[in-house]
Chains A and B, each alone.
Chain A
């Protein structure tokens, strides 16, 4: 057998070294297992359980009826960029030029890829938290850069410690990538800590890439937009989305806002690779900004009820569980079971048909934790807790 590929007639490796070296998701077998089961209560998702609010859907349907099916400007529809600029000014007091500093993308996913490709030279380092969203290290690696991962811990509320960043900075460091509120931990960074990080960015002349896709999903506190910290707008690329706040994951729409040069560079790649974000999704996003506020408020109020109930439920079972102040994830410490994250997730699925994601999927230091998404109907959450309890009781040490 040819070591490089399955096809005997092809001698050269089919896949580039860069992509070949990218670690595959470590939970493949878990997916396969899931596919063969039904009646599973899944806390393994990363999206709202709501369908997109109707008035947002309706605006897109109407636009299709009117025949708005063509490309838009590469940057995105001017009305959408304008509305977004208004939104950012209203919410954070930030002023962005709609023609040069805002780019509408195919989700934060694309924005993340674009920004990495736009700013990274070979072997440039990007400092980031871990456990973190799976795309962070991948985006850096795919751009030829080196992710430098800083472990965060339950003890420190899964917050990025400024001292750890300081210690990780080298002459090759190009940017700090910060993702708060965090997937998978639900952690939110307090403003003072973000201000310290701002100081480090300033001192070492670093860019800050801030993924704030969960900005609207914070509970009992205010989200701090990194770019709104004094002096930070000029070195921050803000990545924002519609997927989570407006329950629009399938629309594939998001944005980046930042310094003109970086947005121009990102736009170049965007232009050559996707032309523009889907037009109907842009229409929907515009409606979301204009008329989606009440729906967001209602959904957030509901997530908060589930959050309080679910975290209490986990603690009542005996888990140590950090209180997540943002996003819609709980990240309990499964230490009381003596199992590894993968073992726990796999056995829980097999024995009790509850799907959670092993913490290790988000980085090695996620070992000992699992990610549970509580964006699920209350009766299902209660049932999931009952099953987890039964599961734990059998093997408590």
Chain B
């Protein structure tokens, strides 16, 4: 730690901090465009100019004669930073006036409005009018710059963050600066659009409305969006994300910076892959087979396929869950080891715990099995080399993992605790020896393979908790319509043992319910589902998950002890 002074505020800063970071620790904002923590320093936008001085041994302060870029200037013990002097303010005003010279100021139709650093800084540090009397430069917009991204050329402030991203993080180097001086533009080579698997990040990196996501374009004003902090469930990297929703509809996912998880970015598969949550084929009501539903008094008839025939709307869930609990108990008591509960790696730790505890509470011989772990190809590592090759170990800046689920490790920890070991469904599929099944899905797409379908067969009891119809749900006795990742609170443990908490952003569609709520009621537990309270319980019950005991995992998550030890050993 080094002591520095920012506008007379003393603060302890990190020895490697630049002025921007040091000032941030003192609660002082140094406006900046080109600098980004994950990219190289170019110090070209000159938005971050500050005055810097040093404290002499006799205590006097000697300020440097020039303005310096706060992003490029390191600090040391006794550094003095001024961001509020007349000189700094004049420079900030000038930089903003210059940036606005050729800016179209079309905020009213710009997607970035509301989260634009040109708007915000102009408001905070700029002046109200421009002295430009000449016509502004006008350039062609470039919708072709990428399949997912459009460039509104005139709005660009030439910070080159996007260019550096494609060079330094994706390694694919599609984006370039062409021409010179004020005629400069961002561009791609002909027929070489920016379509790498991380391309969507340039939209987040762009401090203004120059690079926009075509998927989100003109869909929603950002000030109507509400954020929920969550975790991407696309792969076992488990990127920290923000789910941006309005009126129960998710409009976009954005990465939430988390050095413990993925850093600043996320991949396009994760970013744009959430659409299935609004698919109209989603299961939206619990369903009972005709046999189970008969005998229940009917007050209203419906013809919808999603409704159990002859069942009162309001009675759906209580009936389904009461029946399910009863049937499970009966089946286990009749033949404990003939009962199999299949756990999905899309379940949260809390859900897995609730289900495991419930089942084992009925009879310890009932079996818990891990469902299929979706996997695709090999881990995809960035930055790519010039020929598309993977980076050397130690140079990896981002990995899209082959394991396409968020919580194998978390669910396995629960299974190990309750079952003693992790039994994969594939290993028992040949001879399951089961007469009753409770199967949890929650996968983003069809997951019931022929082998699983065959293994389950037509047992005496089949209960399915899932979000999409499947061959299993078609013939299930009870279908519990569950929640997608955007609808669930809970904990995921990523590939590196990082337990992160996710928060629900929206409600499940129709009468569907988040899995935690289903399982609380199924298990007959009192009270509402509360991830925090459950984490405390799990933390003391399951040694491998002891770090959950605090309940609050913060916004960066907590590493399981075993992995924290590994990381510490690797560091030394």
- Chain B associates with chain A: no
Interface positions of B (Cβ within 8 A of A)? none
Give chain A's interface residues, CB within 8 Å of chain B.
Answer: none
